[in-house]
Structure 1
Amino acid sequence: MSADDVLGRWVPDCPEDIAVVLAKAGFPWWIAGGYAIELAVGRELRPHGDLDVLVLRRDQALVRDLLADWDLFVADPPGLGRLRPWPSGEALQLPLHDIWCRRTPEAPWSVQLMLDEAEGTEWISRRAPQIRLPIERVGRTSATGIPYLAPEVQLFYKAKATREKDESDFDAVLPLLDMSQREWLAEALRAIAPDHSWRQRLQQVS
């Protein structure tokens, strides 16, 4: 039985759709996942099963208010295929970080909202708190004005258990990473997976 059979089907928004919804957000947000890689390379790479959007946990009440008319469910506990409603006013604490969003209860799921950590002006990876960046370096902006997760940060998240599509995303964006991006990703991978195959490839790029 597929996840769609249990939890409902997905018809993901495109980044332009959610950018309209979040246009008045007074907090940082970024397109994440495979779409972030596509925004970085400037072309479509493959079909997508969902649309990920990353926000900082400290801004969750603000994004909850922006999506007040949506049907929002949190994966609780994460990773086990269980969802429960996310009521207005509930502050989600770790390990909860994954929110499924659809416009109405009858609509398909269209956005997956991900919460990440921050302290002051620093972003903190929820998977490895020692991995940090100034928040201003976490994202980029596309030519059409859409915020997206910096490719080195997105690849860090994809590196945990790489699938064929993650390897394809790495291949597509690797030539575009500058020296500082490659060094940051190589060092971040060293902290969580020192033998990861991507580390050698990052060091081989001239």
Structure 2
Amino acid sequence: MRTDYYNWLPLTVPDIFRIFSNISVKWCIAGGWALDLYLGRQSRVHEDIDVIIFREDQFTAFEYLSKDWLLYKAHKGNLSLWKEGERLTATKDIWVSKDATSPWAFQIMIVDTEEEAWVYGRETSIRRPVKDICSTTHEGVPYLKPEIQLLYKGSSSEIRTKDLNDLLLLLPSLSPQAIEWLRSSLNIQFPSGHEWIKHIDQLTS
């Protein structure tokens, strides 16, 4: 078990692209880097880098990555080794490093699907066709669509300043359809209201 949660030396986007392009899984970059790939520029410093895969692809990803990396499953604040053959039914986050003491290199976010639809784990009534959750840069790097990434950021137990800044930076560049999807999804998850709705309403009023 490891507890060095802040011991990060993240890979670059090209590094991730080289690794995951060799794995027969659907994947895309998530987190703050996904937003910057959408913008076409780096907007701020990123302490880590996140990659999404689908739960049904977990063994394929493990088989390839475990040749060169150690994979740790995150559960209730603890990080323990993901063992060969172990099926992850609820775990959503995997932290990856070269060995037991080296810095964290990247994080894998496992997402669920049902009948060709991505299922939002924090409110399972929010769904979207799997084929419609990622976009691709001109260089071919897949990334999570910004409205979905912003939903994840807005649904954290504590919304950080950088997440609000990401919202304010991205909103003017989003399509009306993306903005409406984000507003609707926040309203579904937070029927009593969400602080980001006022920013969305100010932009669209």
Check whether TM > 0.5: yes
> Cα 1:143–1:51, aligned 2, differ >3 Å: closer, same or farther?
same
Displacement after TM superposition at 1:119 (Å): 0.7
Displacement after TM superposition at 1:127 (Å): 0.9
Q: Identify the match of residue 93 of structure 1 among 89, 94, 117.
A: 89
For 1:1-206, what aligned pairs fall within 5 Å after superposition?
Answer: 6-7=4-5, 9-69=7-67, 70-77=69-76, 80=77, 82-94=78-90, 96-160=91-155, 161-194=158-191, 195-206=193-204
Aligned mates of 1:5, 1:191 — CA distance in 2: 35
Give yes or no for contact 1:31–1:54 (8 Å, CA) kept in 2: yes
Relative to structure 2, which stretch is displaced further, 99-108 or 120-129? 99-108
Aligned mates of 1:28, 1:5 — CA distance in 2: 30
Please state whether the residue corresponding to 1:113 is helix, strand or coil: strand
Aligned mates of 1:6, 1:101 — CA distance in 2: 12
Unaligned runs of 5+ residues in structure 2 are none
**RMSD across aligned C-alpha pairs, in angstroms?**
1.7
Aligned mates of 2:135, 2:203 — CA distance in 1: 22
Normalising by structure 2, what TM-score?
A: 0.91
Aligned mates of 1:30, 1:203 — CA distance in 2: 30
> Cα 1:171–1:63, aligned 2, differ >3 Å: closer, same or farther?
same
Give yes or no for contact 1:41–1:172 (8 Å, CA) kept in 2: no
Please state whether the residue corresponding to 1:205 is helix, strand or coil: helix
Q: Which runs of 4+ in 1 moved over 6 A?
A: none
Identity of aligned residues (%): 35
Unaligned runs of 5+ residues in structure 1 are none
Matched positions, count = 199
Normalising by structure 1, what TM-score?
A: 0.90
Aligned mates of 2:23, 2:81 — CA distance in 1: 23
Give yes or no for contact 1:186–1:202 (8 Å, CA) kept in 2: yes
